[in-house]
Structure 1
Amino acid sequence: DGIGQVVDFVSNPISGVIGESERWVPPTANVADRLGDRYEFADTIDGLLYESADSYAQARSLYIQNRRFELSGGEDDFAFDPYEDLFDE
């Protein structure tokens, strides 16, 4: 049991400092932040869900594109630069 407490403290050092009544604050703040994201991107999400022929396929495609972008470290190999000189060597 002592090893578990040490791991808990190392993974979250604030847990030993704050009281039991304050432990609900971070999860609540995270939920509120996610609701704010939903409000911020409401037009995009509503367009995806209600204005596309196949909302599941559209959401899956967006997820895959976003996941590939995250895994590539922010580099987009397929981005088209309209000002790139195609004949430059």
Structure 2
Amino acid sequence: MNMDGLKDTIIREMLGGRGFADICMIPRKIYLDKPAVMIELKWDKSAEGAIQQIKNKEYIDALKDYQGDLLLVGINYDKKTKKHSCIIEKMESMIM
């Protein structure tokens, strides 16, 4: 598969802060007008809890050099109901 057309670098289990974000997508330099995406996956917990984990464990520290916007995504799968829930939270530019 040719990966030249990808706009993002995709990292599984990205080390950041005090743990690992499940999935992180970082736009390539020519696409910095697009947000980076940090995804935390849960099973039988909550999408809200996934977002809180990203914040509490400071996973976004791994992107301290990234200068664009960031989307935090929490996804939960409920084994009993077989349904997914998702929350997306936008953080403005990481420039400090």
Could you say which TM-score interval applies, normalised by the shorter chain? Answer: under 0.3
Structure of larger gyration radius? 1
Query: Which structure has greater helix proportion?
Result: 1
Query: Which structure has greater strand proportion?
Result: 2
What is the TM-score normalised by the length of structure 1?
A: 0.24
What is the TM-score normalised by the length of structure 2?
A: 0.23
